Structure 1
Amino acid sequence: MTTVTRRSGDRSISPVFVGIAAVTAVTGWATWTGFAEQPGVAVFLFVTAAWIVSLCLHEYAHARTALHSGDISVGAKGYLTLNPLKYTHALLSIVLPVLFVIMGGIGLPGGAVFIERGRIRGRWRHSLISAAGPLTNVLFALVCTAPFWLDALDGVPQDFRFALAFLALLQVTAAILNFLPVPGLDGYGVIEPWLSYNVRRQVEPLAPFGLLIVFALLWIPSLNNAFFDMIDAILRGLGISDLDTACGYDLYRFWREASPVCSVSP
């Protein structure tokens, strides 16, 4: 019989995550109060830090669900500490998603946790482990958009409203991209346990390139327009206008000249 000893540090919240959460809180306060001389800098730091927090929660949700499904190895791997540096490579987990936000205003799925699937029994458990991450993005999006769909924007400063709108856009795009049934993405992980062995074997070589294929397709103007039209429609359903997200992205890129439309928005 194999005995697994749980170390206290395996599930302690990482100081790295605490620091990122603190940056989110401080820059969120600066955005709300207008404390910073350049509001765009505060918005940039607030949205970026909050985005990294959401990446950590996304991967934590995968790991926590796997733990309760039978994979007790996730603790020793550091996945339950919310430390973003534990989720594969820092370049893939943090740098690349942030770069995609800066360059295109799109929520790129971040790092990954390696689940020992052989420890888990039951197809529903495998599907739930894969779905847990993007469901976290859905929940995050609902929290960000709550002031909009609850019609509780009275007293919310304009810059903070724009920042929330842009952060919500990132969460919605991340959720939708992750839920695509493409090898290498969580959506495929949801349906994979229900596919035949032959089908899984045939598509397995595509897994390392799944995300690249998706972004290559998004370079096609018609598909890109259709994708963002869908995102805008979802956000409008949650009470966020196209102007809110556009001005949020405009503020986020503080190094560029601000749009006069956003500067005079009520």
Structure 2
Amino acid sequence: MFEFSLVQKIIIWAIPVLFAITVHEVAHGWVALKLGDRTAQMLGRLTLNPFKHIDPIGTVLVPGLLLLLGGFVFGWAKPVPVSYQNLHQPKRDMAWVAAAGPAANFIMAIIWAIVAKLGLMLIHADITLGQPMMFMGVAGVLINTMLMMLNLLPIPPLDGSRVLSSWLPGPMAYKFSRIEPYGFFILLGLLYFGILNLILWPLVSAMLGLLVSVFHLPAQIFSIL
């Protein structure tokens, strides 16, 4: 069993967390651009420079506290602005824009699983670079899987709520959107009472099980962090 100091954990998690939230937000802006809205592009948000997307609370404070407390690590960036009215078919296109973020996290989870697999191969070949690659790959899989599943929940302002809203009839979508000012407090309540973990853990476990099966990874590597 590996034991990590706080500094080591920060080093392992920093790059995967920054990439996870940055690419997630860029994906929203990129799909919005393809569907007619140039707002994110004009504001310089279609960049992988993490400093353009960092939210002091969601990108630094929350992941840092969760890392310190030993729980699941997740966070968020400054939302990429999307001008609804600029989209070709606003109601339909907003669902695609919203789904782009979790889709990006899914792709990144696969990429990080490949990194973890390569790290294991290097470890077996007794190459020093293998361990940091494996640890960072595992962290990347975990953070992206958590972000994907969290954002798919139909709680405003999470991406899943945008997708759901696009399917609802106009009056119902409007009533549903009025929950948004309370969405953050709903999430905090679910987290505090342990309900969020009960919802997310089966989904995360299923995703991890899929990656373990596809890439022939030892399941126990996901418990090392």
Aligned position for 1:9:
none
| Max Rg structure | 1
**CA gap 1:222/1:71 in 2 versus in 1, 3 angstroms:** closer
**CA gap 1:152/1:91 in 2 versus in 1, 3 angstroms:** closer
Q: Which amino acid aligns with 1:126?
A: M
**CA gap 1:151/1:44 in 2 versus in 1, 3 angstroms:** closer
8 Å CA contact 1:109–1:177 kept in 2: the answer is: no
Gap runs ≥5 in structure 2: 124-129
Q: 1:139 aligns with which of 68, 82, 107?
A: 107
Q: Distance in 2 between matches of 1:195 and 1:56?
A: 29
Secondary structure of the equivalent of 1:183? Answer: coil
Q: Distance in 2 between matches of 1:130 and 1:169?
A: 21
**CA gap 1:119/1:49 in 2 versus in 1, 3 angstroms:** same
Q: CA offsets, 1:134-154, max 9 Å, x none?
A: 111111101111256x79832
Aligned position for 2:127:
none
Query: What is the deviation of 1:118?
Result: 0.5
Misfit runs of 4+, over 6 Å: none
> Matched residue pairs, number?
209
Aligned position for 1:187:
160
Q: Distance in 1 between matches of 2:170 and 2:61?
A: 33
Q: Distance in 2 between matches of 1:212 and 1:194?
A: 24
TM, length-normalised to structure 1: 0.68
8 Å CA contact 1:74–1:115 kept in 2: the answer is: yes
Q: CA offsets, 1:6-64, max 9 Å, x none?
A: xxxxxxxxxxxxxxxxxxxxxxxxxxxxxxxx886355224212211221111111111
Q: Which amino acid aligns with 1:146?
A: I
Q: 2:40 aligns with which of 51, 56, 74?
A: 74
Q: Distance in 1 between matches of 2:36 and 2:57?
A: 27
Query: What is the deviation of 1:232?
Result: 2.6
Q: Which amino acid aligns with 1:188?
A: S
Query: What is the deviation of 1:212?
Result: 3.3
Q: Which amino acid aligns with 1:113?
A: V
Query: What is the deviation of 1:92?
Result: 4.1
Q: CA offsets, 1:119-166, max 9 Å, x none?
A: 112233221111111111111101111256x79832243453233223
Pair 1:245-2:225 in alignment: no
8 Å CA contact 1:166–1:244 kept in 2: the answer is: no
Aligned position for 1:112:
79
Q: Which amino acid aligns with 1:105?
A: F
Pair 1:175-2:148 in alignment: yes
Secondary structure of the equivalent of 1:188? Answer: helix
Secondary structure of the equivalent of 2:179? Answer: helix
Query: What is the deviation of 1:106?
Result: 2.9
Q: Distance in 2 between matches of 1:137 and 1:167?
A: 10
Q: CA offsets, 1:76-103, max 9 Å, x none?
A: 211113344444x732452244235414
Percent identity, please.
24
RMSD: 2.8
Q: Distance in 2 between matches of 1:43 and 1:228?
A: 22
Secondary structure of the equivalent of 2:105? Answer: helix
Pair 1:90-2:55 in alignment: yes
Q: Which amino acid aligns with 1:231?
A: V
Secondary structure of the equivalent of 1:50? Answer: helix
Secondary structure of the equivalent of 1:105? Answer: coil
Query: What is the deviation of 1:109?
Result: 3.6
TM, length-normalised to structure 2: 0.78
Secondary structure of the equivalent of 1:182? Answer: coil
8 Å CA contact 1:145–1:165 kept in 2: the answer is: yes
Aligned position for 1:60:
26
Q: Which amino acid aligns with 2:107?
A: L
Once the two structures are overlaid, the 10-residue window that deviates more, 166-175 or 38-47, is 38-47
8 Å CA contact 1:235–1:241 kept in 2: the answer is: no
Q: Distance in 2 between matches of 1:223 and 1:46?
A: 25
